Each structure stands twice: as structure tokens, then as C-alpha cells.
Amino acid sequence: MQFKDIVGQRDIINRLTAVIDSGRVSHAQHIVGDERDGSLQLAWAYLQYLCCEHRQHYNDGDLRADSCGECPNCKKISQLMHPDLHFIFPNPPNGSNSVSAEDYMREFRDFMLSTQALGTLNDFNETLSGDVKTSMIRETDAANIVKVLNMKPYEGGWRMVVVWNAHRMNASAANELLKTLEEPLPQTIILLVDNDDKRLLPTIESRVQTIKVKGEGLKFKVEENAEFAGMLVGWLRMLFKLKMKELSMQVDKMATLNREQLKLFLQYAMKVMRDCFLNTAAGMECHLGSGDEKFDSQFPKMITTNNIELVQSAIDDAIFAIERNAYAKIVMMELSFRISKALKKR
């Protein structure tokens, strides 16, 4: 997981990489945000950057730095195969057998990789059998954290533990963990992650540095996936060029989405347009990341004070029509014309 794969959060990310570069990494941090806001992604990318052997620094773009994605540490962390990276998460009790997060590690890894760390605890629980309502982080889990942090690191670098949904830690687990938080060992880092604005036990909370992830901007990440992004860029390029045959093909593709998906897609499109406008208005670079440099640099500049409202109301109307079960192809075609007309008014 690289920072570039995370939507939004640029300010937080840039602050985090600056702190890591300065070598003043806090040994215990609590990353908190709203549900599905990418806080687990942030923890993942953070540790990858921390361990990266060839950190990349940029002079332009919205990120000041990122991990290289290529070095052995990056590869191991992105595949969740790094021997010094450990995950603890709520897990269901299994009758009289003493179970811990370790017993569900394979499922957790699959879950992380398949959702790119955007799933919720409910999503994860659905992949498990057992009484998930009573999923907790228990004393055994905390003892495992203490154990791995005390071990000699395999790779000679950082020993890392991510505690996902840390608010699900019971009191005995918290007690077990306290000493480690109070007397940190060198080269160890614990990231407590909550996808939910739940409070930690005060004893724990007072010993960790809190990083607030702002949900704004990332709300859309929920629905955003490669398919949406690719579709949007494809569509905008057609609007930009207004080649009818290709535009019509693109509209057919979008019309295959079901109503709910199409609505989410339009909300996503609205957000991207607004971001283009805000960034351009503020004189900042806005990068769409389509892979087409010319389109990426020119399109955002086409959304100005002269047409942002037209674009916005065109998309609003389309969402309204979709909600009222209008024929998707016609709605999307009409929307395409309205936006393309608006773009000419820049």
C-alpha cells in the first residue's frame, strides 16, 4: 500500500512522512476516523513508508513523499508478508478453546488484500464463523503483542504491530498492553486503528498520539474503485473531445450499472469535478491520474466559476432522474451534452 493509492488525506499524509523523515516517530499512535475512511490503509502505507529502503520525494504533485513500492521491504509489506509486521483484531471466542487473532490471520490477510483495507469490522466478521457479536481483543492477543515486540526483529529493522478496532480491547487486554506503552522498546511501533470514532479506554488513550483522519473526501473512496475511476476518466475524455460514436459507447457502458451504483458513480463524478474546480481556483495542481498527461493537466482547468454551477446542477438533475427510475441511457446522454456545453463556457 502506497500513499498514492489512498484517496484524499494529503495534509495528514504529508505531515506523517515529514515526521518519519525527521526520525521522530512516536512509538504508539492511534489513527481514528469514520467508518471506511481509509484509516487502516493509512496505517498500512505508513509502515511501508517507514520501512522503505528507497523513499521517494517529490517536488510537484500533492504528495511530498511516498514509499518506492519496489524494494524488498515494500514488497513484503504490500503483500502482508513482512515477518516483523503483526496484526491484532477482534476475534470471536471459540467455546472453551483459547483462540486469538493469530488463529484468524489467514482470513485477515485475505480480507486486507481483497478490500485493500477498506472493509469494516462487520465485513470482516462476515468472512468468519463463530459468534462475531462477541468479537473482542482479549488478554491472549495483548500478550501476543507484548511477545512479538520483545522478540528480536527478523529483518533487523522495526517491529510493528497494528491493532485494528482497538476500541474492542477488553480491560484485561488493555492492562496487559499498558506496560509496553509506558516503557517502549527501541525500534518498535504500535498503531492502534479505529475505523469508527469510538473511544479507547482512558488509560490507553492517554499514552498514545492521536491522528484524526478526516472523513471528508474519503467518504467517496467507499464506492470508488478502479472501475469507477476508469469509467469517469473515459467519460470525461469523451466529453472533452466530443466524439459522438465513442461517447455513445461510453454511455452504454455507464448505463450497465444498476441504479444505486449509477447514483454513486454520479456522486463520485460530482466530487471529482468540484475538486478540479477548488484546486484550480486555489491555484493548485490537480491531477486526475488517468495516465494521459495532456488530459490530466488540461481537464481540471476547464472547470471554472463560469461553469461549475452548470455542471453541478446537470449532475444533480441526473441523480434525481435516476432516483425516479428514468431510462439510464437517456439520462446519461443528456447529462453528457449538458456538461460538454458547460465546459465550453469556461
Alpha-carbon separation of residue 24 from 20, 21, 114, 290 (angstroms) = 6, 8, 33, 36
Judged by beta carbon, residue 71 or residue 181, the one nearer Zn ion is 71
Kindly state the smallest distance separating residue 64's Cβ from Zn ion, in Å: 16
Distance CA 36, CA 218 (A): 8
Question: Among residues 196, 251, 187, 260, which one has the least CA distance to residue 223?
Answer: 260
Q: How far is the CB of 52 from Zn ion (least distance, A)?
A: 3
Give the binding site for Zn ion (CB under 5 A). Answer: 52, 67-68, 71, 74
Closer of 41 and 100 to Zn ion (Cβ): 41
CB of 53 to Zn ion, least distance (A): 5
Q: Which is nearer to Zn ion, 71 or 80 (CB)?
A: 71
Residue 340's beta-bridge partner residues? Answer: none
Q: How far apart are CA 203 and CA 140, in angstroms?
A: 19
Cβ contacts of 14 within 8 Å, gap of 6 or more? 63, 64, 65
Comparison of 65 and 101: residue with beta carbon closer to Zn ion: 65
Nearest-approach distance from CB 57 to Zn ion, in angstroms: 13
| Cell triple for 314 | 446537470
The C-alpha angle 92, 95, 101, rounded to 5 degrees, equals 35
What's the DSSP call for residue 223? T
Please provide the DSSP assignment of 260-276 as one string.
Answer: HHHHHHHHHHHHHHHHH
> CA–CA separation, 48 vs 57, rounded Å?
15
Count of alpha carbons within 13 angstroms of residue 91, beta-carbon side: 25
Nearer to Zn ion, 49 or 104 (CB): 49
Considering beta carbons, is residue 65 or 264 the nearer one to Zn ion?
A: 65
Cα distance between residue 68 and residue 298, in whole Å = 28
Least distance (Å) between residue 73 CB and Zn ion: 6
Q: CB of 283: closest distance to Zn ion in angstroms?
A: 32
> Which C-beta is closer to Zn ion: that of 5 or that of 223?
5
Grid cell of 122 as nine digits: 462487520
Please report how close the Cβ of residue 50 comes to Zn ion at its closest, in angstroms.
10
